[in-house]
Structures are given as structure tokens and as C-alpha cells.
Amino acid sequence: MLVRDLKHKNSAISKQLAKFAARLGVRHPSLSRANRLLFLCGANRSPGVPSPRRQAIKRFVESISSDYRVIYAEGVFNELAKVGHGKNALDLEHEISAIADRILIVLESPSAFCELGAFAHQTLREKLIIVNDSQFRGNGSFIDTGPLAAATECKSPILWYPMGADGLSKTDGIGAIFSDLKAAVDAKPVSVGKPTSSDIGDLSASKLSLYFIHDLVLFVGPVTHAELIDVLITAFGKKSFDMAKSLLGILREARLIVSNQVDTDWVFRATTTTPFLQYAADTNALMATFRRYHLQTTPKRFADEHRGTHVERAVGPAIAA
């Protein structure tokens, strides 16, 4: 139904969306606030279940500040499965890495060492925070003289402690690194992925695109993935919006949006009431028009609206992505 009404130029939602898109063409939106996003890699205790070390790190990092969000690739994949995706793990991890402020890798499995090799590339190594077993410190291996040496050269932190042999099944002494870990995640983040186009509708693996998709979900939601694509096509014309799936998955894993099944559809809704970008358009009118439309056509979507939703406080001047 939304698709049909978007095509009617005289419909209320079509008119408001046209005004919004026109203002975007006049003035590019800017970032007004941001979370610190940290991509946490390592082993799993069982399929889809992160190791106790990774779980402990996530709990600790997110306890430092409510603005810190730790992302597991597994969570992004689980979310993408709801809307269908053809991404391979390598491409998805590189998209997450481009957006993330920091990449935390716990060297606790062969797969983690493979990830280290991929993320030690010159474009990403400055984002790295590496956790390794102190028994291997300075052993002269390729890992020691290759990726770890490259990380050291660009001053990326390497945190050492004696890992327990059963650390994949129960928590070991990972807390020994927490003081140094806090200093590492609190440090000024390096630059993250930048948009590849001046057109906000050209989605990319960047924080600007990530937060733009968040804001669209806030303005036009609760909304399905298919409906969001129709909104993007109506606003920016027919082009590839495949990146929207990955961005939705990352936003969901960062708990900036939630997804709920309504009948046979997965519906996305923002968990905050404040946009991340500053717009020259009347976004309140846009949001009110779409909410009124959904209340009239799909009221079930609002049944659990307040679950997981909180209000962000007002923030100061815009900051760089």
C-alpha cells in the first residue's frame, strides 16, 4: 500500500517526501551527534554464540559510556537473514570495519588470526586494538613480526595477558586488560569511512550513510526493508540501494533500531527520537505525516512502540564523522 501511495504525487506522504528530497538537494545534511562504534572479532563458543572473552569485553566497553556500542558480525548476519542477503562474510566485515571507529580482535582462534591478517591492511590497521596471549609475546613468529609489528608501527594498542586454556568455554582473567582497554577505546578515534559521493542518496560504508538510514527509519517508520527502498527510490530515483541492508543490520546490532515481526513482515523502528544528522528540511512534518499514514493503514506496527525506545538529550554543535 505504501508503494502505491508514494506513486500518487498528490498523496500527503508523497508531497512531504518530495519536499524533504528537494531540501536535501539544496543543502547536504551534516552529522550532529554520533556513537562510538566498536567492531569486536574473535572466536565463538558455539555457532552464533560469541566466546566468554568477547562477551566480557562487550559488557565492559559498553559500561564505560552509553555512547559506546560494540558490534558482533554474527548479529549483523542474523539481522540480514530476515530481509534476505547475498553478502559473503568477508565483504560484510569490511563494510563494518569501514564504518567502525575501532576494530577489537581477540586472538583466540585460527579464524581470529585470519581476521587479523585482513584487518592489518594499511587502510585499517590504525583502528586496531588487539588482545593476545602473553605466552606468545616476542616469539618471532610471522604473526609477531608481521601483523603485530605493523600494528605497533602505527601505535595501535596490543594488550597482553595469560589466556586460560578453557577461555572459549568460560571466562578467564580477561579483566587484567580492562584498564588498558578503557584507555584504548577512550582515545580519539581515527578517521572512519567517508561518503564516496556528495549525493546523500548514494549509500556507502560510511557513518554518514549509516546515520542517514537511521534517520529515515525514524522519519518514515515503522517501516519494512522493502518500503524503505521504495522511499529511497522515490526520493533519489532508481539506483542500487543494496548497501541499505548492511546498514540496517549494523544499526540493529548497535541497538540504534529494533526489528519486530508484524504478521509476515519484519518492521524496523528507531530506538531514539532524535536524528543523528542536521537537515534543512522540516523533518517533524515528514515524520508526523508518515506516522499518521501508518496509524491509519498498519496500526499493528505501533503495538510495542515504546519497547526499547528512549529519548536522547539535545546535543551541541555538529562534529566530524
State pLDDT tens for residues 38-75.
999 999 999 889 999 999 999 999 999 999 999 998 88
Question: Taking the model in full, what pTM does it have?
Answer: 0.89
| pLDDT for the residue numbered 316 | 33
pLDDT(304) > 80 = no
State pLDDT tens for residues 148-159.
999 999 999 999
Segment 180-189 long-range contacts (CB within 8 Å, at least 24 positions apart): 181/57, 181/60, 181/61, 181/129, 181/131, 182/60, 182/64, 183/157, 184/102, 184/129, 184/157, 184/159, 185/36, 185/38, 185/61, 185/64, 185/68, 185/102, 185/129, 186/64, 189/36, 189/101, 189/102, 189/127
Domains of the chain, first to last? 2-31+194-302 (1.10.10), 36-186 (3.40.50.2300)
Q: pLDDT category, 305, cuts 50, 70, 90?
A: low
pLDDT(306) > 70 = no
SS3 67: coil
